[in-house]
Amino acid sequence: MNEHTVLVVDDESAIRDMLRMVLDIAGFGFTEAENIQDAHVRVLEDKPDIILLDWMLPGGSGIELLRRLKRDEHTRDLPVIMLTAKTSEDNIVQGLDVGADDYITKPFAPRELVARIKSLLRRSAVGENAQRLQMAELVLDQESHRIFLGEEVVEAGPTEYRLLRFFMSHPERAYSRANLLDSVWGVNVYVEERTVDVHIRRLRMALRTSTLDYSHLIQTVRGTGYRFSSRDLMSADAANLNTRAV
Amino acid sequence: MNEHTVLVVDDESAIRDMLRMVLDIAGFGFTEAENIQDAHVRVLEDKPDIILLDWMLPGGSGIELLRRLKRDEHTRDLPVIMLTAKTSEDNIVQGLDVGADDYITKPFAPRELVARIKSLLRRSAVGENAQRLQMAELVLDQESHRIFLGEEVVEAGPTEYRLLRFFMSHPERAYSRANLLDSVWGVNVYVEERTVDVHIRRLRMALRTSTLDYSHLIQTVRGTGYRFSSRDLMSADAANLNTRAV
DNA sequence: TACAACTGTAATTTAACTGTCACATTCTGG
DNA sequence: CCAGAATGTGACAGTTAAATTACAGTTGTA
């Protein structure tokens, strides 16, 4: 596997040094920034694969950077782990929409941190390597950031795009609404679970064009959540037609 | 969502009481134990969904129980949060090493504890630990939350799914209707015993597709209840009822 | 700034699932 | 073979989960 680069954003150099050592031992590349402005530059220049972002930063809190990253098309999918001090800021964390992919409270065990980083990288790895996700005539092209159904381009909003991408990279598996919120919206995002239903509907409608109807790929698992699957009532062979990267 | 039960293992009753209150407010079911032996019994009897385990316990430290739980097939996937008094990283690392899913150091904010519990429950809800249960051509795939019979997908409601899952993970053994209600519907649920019959029927019907009929796996044990068995109904009965002449 | 697209939420409608009952059928012991 | 007991079955109505619709607030953009 290629070496993954981790960007650490923290204003305390002691912590950065500590993390540099930990990450080095774990075999990760390392780059750092001590404020938001610097961090943004590092993101663009060093193209890290994941960001460890301290919550409390001078010159704009971490959430500011997070928002900015999530707003930009090109950086939206960069996995971010928030580092939160284990004190009263907990309250703040809970009240705000964060949208990070994971978070960890200080102090943390290096082992745990590394495990979470690997987990996140693994999760986004599917998307990294594969520019295109395909199932039969349904193609999600991450390069052009578009969805194709047969010859037609599927009209879908950003959220539906991410939802479909998540589903296509994790097919044949049931996810609860909470799971989907965590994976597609981000952890600590305060959104009603029912909202997922609405986006599922929007996605299903998008997957129905004048000539093709792939809406059945998004299946309801009653009492549990949803699932993306090629086989509903069809033969098991269709299962081997798993989503594949092209 | 169903109510989840939390097992608190701590030798100080004050802490147990505090946790009982906190968890109650958060809407969790509660059960407790003050030592390892007791805890093990509670795990088996109350079937908690998650365990809060104090590190320091009389008569064997918490890690002892943790090891035991992780060793047993049935309890291996039970999420465990370690409660550690001190911030000593050694303990934490050791705990995570043995298989704890998370840890929290005392004193802790109730809010954070609840958040972590929910997070863990969510993770294991459609867990990565999900396995496939298989018997011949009958497959219950917990990952995709589906049942396959040969090439076909079996249509079954949530209750039938849970019922089959229970049977497949506890085969070759007869269960009374009361047993099944406890295990599949949950304890302290007021439902008529005969209701089990109806769901048994529904499950049997589901296990009968156009090409295969596996309904005979769900066997009636007259005067007792039901049993899931691959052994033929006739020979099985003959073995059990060999006291009578025909 | 005005407009168009997108989001999240709540209210309402629709569909699926559940539990029970009444009646049918099968089994058991005598 | 009979009577009583246990289990199977079909129907049905209440309950719950999901689909749908409408809408108001945001956000991005011309």
Give me the residue from B111, B115, B145 closest to A221, CB to CB: B145
Quick check: A109 contacting B, CB < 8 Å? Answer: yes
Per-residue pLDDT at B3: 64
Q: Which two tokens stand for residue A117?
A: 């980083």
Site of tokens 């990450």 = A23
Closest Cα in chain A, distance from residue B103 (Å): 10
Quick check: A228 contacting B, CB < 8 Å? Answer: no
- Contact residues on chain A for B134, CB-CB shorter than 8 A: none
Taking CB atoms and an 8 Å limit, are A90 and B96 in contact across chains? no
Q: What is the mean pLDDT of residues A189-212?
A: 92
- Which of B106, B151, B159 to mutate to test binding with chain A, by most A CBs within 10 Å of its CB? B151
Closest Cα in chain B, distance from residue A120 (Å): 14
Question: Which bases in strand C are touched by protein, i.e. have an atom under 7 Å from a CB?
Answer: 5-11, 16-22, 27-29
For A96-100, B136-140, B153-157, B204-208, which range has the lowest pLDDT when averaged over its residues? Answer: A96-100
Taking CB atoms and an 8 Å limit, are A182 and B122 in contact across chains? yes
DSSP string, B44-68: HHH--SEEEEES--SSS-HHHHHHH
- Contact residues on chain A for B92, CB-CB shorter than 8 A: 109
Taking CB atoms and an 8 Å limit, are B126 and A173 in contact across chains? yes
Kind plus residue range of the DSSP H or E element containing B119 = helix B110-125
Minimal-distance CA residue of chain B relative to A239: B151
Tell me: pLDDT of B88 over 60. no
- In percent, the amount of chain A with pLDDT more than 90 equals 32
Chain A and chain B share a number of CB contacts under 8 A equal to: 60
Quick check: B132 contacting A, CB < 8 Å? Answer: no
- Contact residues on chain A for B109, CB-CB shorter than 8 A: 90
Residue A88 to residues A25, A84, A187, Cα–Cα distance (Å)? 32, 10, 19
Taking CB atoms and an 8 Å limit, are A179 and B126 in contact across chains? yes
Quick check: A175 contacting B, CB < 8 Å? Answer: yes
Q: What is the mean pLDDT of residues A92-121?
A: 73
Tell me: pLDDT of A235 over 50. no
Q: What is the mean pLDDT of residues A85-102?
A: 59
DSSP assigned state of A59: S
Per-residue pLDDT at A245: 44
For A98-102, A152-156, B9-13, B73-77, which range has the lowest pLDDT when averaged over its residues? Answer: B73-77
Q: What is the mean pLDDT of residues B175-199?
A: 92
- Which of A231, A232, A234, A243 to mutate to test binding with chain B, by most B CBs within 10 Å of its CB? A231
Which residues put CB within 7 Å of chain D, the nucleic strand? A 71, 194, 197-198, 200-201, 204, 220-225; B 194, 197-198, 200-201, 204, 220-225
**Which of residues B78 and A166 earns the better pLDDT score?**
A166
Taking CB atoms and an 8 Å limit, are A174 and B112 in contact across chains? no
Cis-peptide into B158, omega within 30 deg:
no
Go through A220-239 and write b for each residue having 16 or more CB atoms within 10 A of its CB, e for each that does not.
Answer: ebeebbbbbbbbeeeeeebb
User: How far does the CA of A203 sit from the C1' of D20, in Å?
Assistant: 14
Cis-peptide into A58, omega within 30 deg:
no
- Contact residues on chain A for B93, CB-CB shorter than 8 A: 109, 111
DSSP assigned state of A137: T
* β B174-176/B50-54 pair status: unpaired
Range among A89-93, A101-105, A106-110 with highest mean pLDDT value: A101-105
- In percent, the amount of chain B with pLDDT more than 70 equals 78
Instruction: Check if the beta carbon of residue B46 is closer than 8 Å to that of residue B32.
Output: no
Per-residue pLDDT at A97: 65
Range among A42-46, A141-145, A205-209 with highest mean pLDDT value: A205-209
Global pTM reads 0.70
CA B198 to chain centre: 23
Tell me: pLDDT of B109 over 80. no
Residue B183, SS3? helix
Minimal-distance CA residue of chain B relative to A232: B153
**Which residues, 6+ apart, have CB-to-CB distance to B120 below 8 Å?**
B50, B79, B81, B101, B102
Site of tokens 């596996």 = B214
